[in-house]
Amino acid sequence: MTVEKKTRYGEISVTENAVASLAGGVITECYGVVGMASKKIIRDGWAELLNLENYSRGVVVKQTEDGLIIDLYIIVSFGVKISEVVQEAQKKVKYVLEKSLSESIVSVNVFVQGVQVME
């Protein structure tokens, strides 16, 4: 799946991995977000914290007729109000992706895979 645009200068194709990396980078900058988690919870309900190179493993990008649907899997910091962190993260990811891709974002779904105590 790629996001494709036609301009008077030619065609632009943005891969799903590029969109996933952009979304992962944006959400990890949000307050209260420790990092990205894998889509699959590994043994005993533990979520794996992903490195910068693996952000695409924690993001699912779906293309519909109306635009893109983004699913993000994250780990949040202990002691923050999860609903507020997720709501602000959704707004920021939607804004940055719409501005960067010039593509409509139908929804940004955030799945909290775990809570981590920061030292």
For residues 15-42, average pLDDT:
84
- 37 and 49 Cβ atoms separated by less than 8 Å: yes
For residues 42-54, average pLDDT:
54
**Confidence (pLDDT) at 43:** 45
Residue 19 has pLDDT above 70, yes or no: yes
Domain that holds residue 57: 2-116
Residue 39 belongs to domain with CATH number: 3.30.70.1350
**Confidence (pLDDT) at 106:** 95
Helix (H, G, I), strand (E, B) or coil at 49: strand
**Confidence (pLDDT) at 107:** 95
Residue 44 has pLDDT above 70, yes or no: no
Q: How many separate domains does the chain show?
A: 1
> Residue 73: which of 38, 49, 45, 31 has the closest Cα?
38
Looking at every residue in the chain, the average pLDDT score rounds to 84
Sign of the Cα pseudo-torsion (23, 24, 27, 29, in order)? negative
**Confidence (pLDDT) at 99:** 94
For residues 30-42, average pLDDT:
78
Run of H or E residues at 62: strand 59-63
- 74 and 37 Cβ atoms separated by less than 8 Å: yes
